[in-house]
């Protein structure tokens, strides 16, 4: 296989290798969802509230560290090269996952989850490398391929994690993932070739200058807020999904497998529906599509707080994925339409930061609400958070309903 890859053009060989890398990164960050809380439960004798808190902390700290260190790794990539950052990320995650399988207490696990976030950056650097090395006429295809790798990994991660934990064990699941990241490191080291030109310091506008260039700054901030709340709501249940499944299933059957199915439902629905809703949004207006998404999210989220079986939960989580499919692509589209081309990358980077912050806030918020209102309360609270988001977005887009245009 490596001989076949070596015979391909540089950009195409890089694409295939990095697709596998981002696919594994997606799996690595999502596969622990079905059993992270159950693994935490094996590391001590915790009360229900303690277990909920520690599960949320272990989940959220990875994203918190990613949000903090991403700007630093970005600057370093500009001066040292993106291949070095890819090697750092893949080797770092390999070591961290192997060590996670050896954790003896909750604080060791939390520390290692923080290191996982610290060593992140594989996906962003893979995108940057492919975007700069691929022929312009093939760049859309290449970047689209990388998106399918990340999304596919995130989609299959919970399912694969649930199966691995059921067939082998929690610890062996970490070992297997660590070994695969070692393979990603080896393939990147031997097959990825970089044509690197450092970016001069001071060549890009400052943060203040970026926002001065925006024609609709309030709308842009509103879209950041929407991204943050969508991510917060989506991940509020993630750290304790296995605990909720175990409670609904009364401890019968394979909790890890069922939790993997439930965790995968939103991603499956989004993958199926997003392209179709994107085309509808082009016809009726992107801002209207987002408002439809808010309505659907509320309609599906509120009843989820009253489910009594695992399969009811799985169905409602699938429907939440449908609502995500109406909003997530539409937010990206509105950002693209409302942002000058010369600062598009910066604005999308800020949007990614808000998404990471939502990944931190969601699990922590979920654990607090679960401690006060039990697991069902997370969905009820999330439904009203969606209403708040809809009101803010409705206010920010008044000029569009009045006949304004993002192209003005």
Q: What is the mean pLDDT of the chain?
A: 80
Q: Do 131 and 234 sit in the same domain of this protein?
A: no
Q: Which two tokens stand for residue 47?
A: 């009360």
With a cut of 60, say whether residue 227 has pLDDT above it. yes
CA–CA gap between residue 198 and residue 205 (Å, rounded): 17
What's the CATH number where 257 sits?
1.20.1250.20
Region 170-178 average pLDDT: 87
Region 11-37 average pLDDT: 82
Looking at residue 36, its pLDDT comes to: 81
Q: 149 falls in which pLDDT band (50, 70, 90)? A: confident
Domain boundary among 192, 213, 232: 192
CA–CA gap between residue 55 and residue 61 (Å, rounded): 10
Q: Give the range among 106-110, 285-289, 330-334 with minimum mean pLDDT.
A: 330-334
With a cut of 70, say whether residue 164 has pLDDT above it. yes
Of the two residues 339 and 376, the one the predictor is more confident about is 376
Half-sphere exposure of 283 (CA within 13 A, CB side): 5
Region 347-351 average pLDDT: 71
Q: Do 175 and 213 sit in the same domain of this protein?
A: no
Of the two residues 348 and 224, the one the predictor is more confident about is 224
Please list, in sequence order, all residues whose beta carbon lies within 8 angstroms of the beta carbon of residue 345, skipping any fewer than 6 positions away. Answer: none
Q: What is the DSSP string of 298-362?
A: HHHHHHHTT--SHHHHHHHHHHHHHHHHHHHHHHHHHHHHTS-GGGHHHHHHHHHHHHHHHHHHH
Of the two residues 401 and 310, the one the predictor is more confident about is 310
Looking at residue 168, its pLDDT comes to: 82
Helices (H) and strands (E) in the chain, counts: 18, 0
Domain boundary among 131, 158, 192: 192
Of the two residues 69 and 291, the one the predictor is more confident about is 291
Q: Do 273 and 391 sit in the same domain of this protein?
A: yes
Q: What pLDDT digit, counting tens, does each position of 124-145 carry?
A: 777 777 767 777 666 556 765 6
Q: Which two tokens stand for residue 95?
A: 């070591």
Looking at residue 91, its pLDDT comes to: 94
Quote the number of domains for the chain: 2
Q: What pLDDT digit, counting tens, does each position of 228-240 carry?
A: 888 888 878 776 7
> What b/e sequence results for 22-52 when a residue is b if at least 16 CB atoms lie within 10 Å of its CB, and e otherwise?
bbbbbbbbbbbbbbbbbbbbebeeeeeeebb
With a cut of 80, say whether residue 330 has pLDDT above it. no
Looking at residue 386, its pLDDT comes to: 92
Q: For residue 319, is it within any domain?
A: yes
With a cut of 80, say whether residue 197 has pLDDT above it. no
pTM above 0.75, yes or no: no
With a cut of 70, say whether residue 147 has pLDDT above it. no
CA–CA gap between residue 353 and residue 132 (Å, rounded): 22
Q: Do 188 and 215 sit in the same domain of this protein?
A: no
Q: Do 171 and 217 sit in the same domain of this protein?
A: no
Q: Do 186 and 226 sit in the same domain of this protein?
A: no
Domain that holds residue 60: 7-192
**What percentage of the chain reaches a pLDDT higher than 70?**
82
Q: How many CB atoms lie within 10 A of CB 285?
A: 16
Looking at residue 299, its pLDDT comes to: 93
Looking at residue 121, its pLDDT comes to: 76
Q: 88 falls in which pLDDT band (50, 70, 90)? A: very high
Looking at residue 348, its pLDDT comes to: 66
Q: For residue 339, is it within any domain?
A: yes
Q: Which two tokens stand for residue 260?
A: 């993997």
Looking at residue 303, its pLDDT comes to: 92
Q: For residue 405, is it within any domain?
A: no
CA–CA gap between residue 338 and residue 389 (Å, rounded): 20
Q: For residue 271, is it within any domain?
A: yes
Region 199-219 average pLDDT: 72
Q: Do 57 and 145 sit in the same domain of this protein?
A: yes
């Amino acid at each position: 296989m490596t001989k076949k890859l070596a015979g391909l053009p540089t950009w195409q060989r890089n694409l295939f290798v990095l697709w596998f890398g981002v696919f594994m990164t997606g799996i690595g960050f999502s596969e622990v969802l079905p059993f992270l809380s159950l693994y935490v439960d094996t590391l001590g004798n915790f009360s229900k509230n303690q277990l909920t808190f520690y599960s949320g902390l272990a989940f959220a700290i990875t994203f918190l560290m990613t949000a903090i260190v991403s700007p630093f790794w970005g600057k370093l990539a500009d001066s040292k090269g993106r291949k070095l950052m890819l090697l750092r990320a893949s080797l770092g995650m390999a070591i961290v996952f192997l060590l996670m399988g050896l954790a003896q207490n909750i604080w060791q696990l939390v520390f290692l989850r923080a290191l996982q976030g610290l060593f992140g950056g594989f996906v962003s650097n893979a995108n940057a490398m492919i975007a700069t090395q691929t022929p312009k006429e093939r760049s859309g295809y290449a970047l689209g391929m990388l998106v399918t790798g990340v999304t596919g990994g995130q989609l299959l991660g919970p399912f694969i994690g649930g199966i691995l934990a059921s067939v082998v064990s929690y610890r062996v699941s970490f070992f297997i993932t660590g070994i695969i990241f070692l393979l990603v490191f080896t393939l990147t080291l031997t097959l990825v070739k970089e044509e690197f030109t450092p970016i001069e310091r001071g060549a890009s506008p400052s943060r203040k200058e970026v926002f001065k260039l925006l024609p609709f700054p309030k709308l842009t901030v509103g879209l950041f807020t929407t991204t943050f709340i969508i991510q917060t709501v989506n991940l509020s249940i993630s750290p304790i999904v296995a605990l909720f499944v175990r409670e609904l299933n009364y401890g019968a059957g394979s909790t890890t497998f069922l939790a993997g199915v439930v965790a995968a439902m939103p991603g499956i629905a989004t993958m199926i529906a997003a392209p179709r809703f994107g085309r509808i949004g082009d016809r009726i207006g992107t801002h209207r599509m987002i408002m439809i998404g808010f309505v659907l999210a509320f309609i599906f989220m509120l009843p989820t707080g009253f489910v009594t079986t695992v399969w009811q939960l799985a169905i409602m989580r699938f429907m939440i994925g449908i609502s995500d499919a109406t909003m997530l692509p539409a937010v990206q589209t509105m950002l693209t339409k409302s942002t000058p081309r010369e600062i598009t990358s910066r604005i999308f980077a800020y949007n990614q930061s808000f998404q990471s912050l939502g990944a931190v806030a969601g699990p922590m918020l979920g654990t607090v609400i679960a401690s006060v209102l039990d697991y069902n309360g997370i969905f009820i609270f999330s439904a009203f958070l969606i209403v708040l988001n809809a009101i803010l977005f409705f206010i920010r887009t008044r000029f569009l309903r009045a006949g304004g245009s993002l192209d003005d």
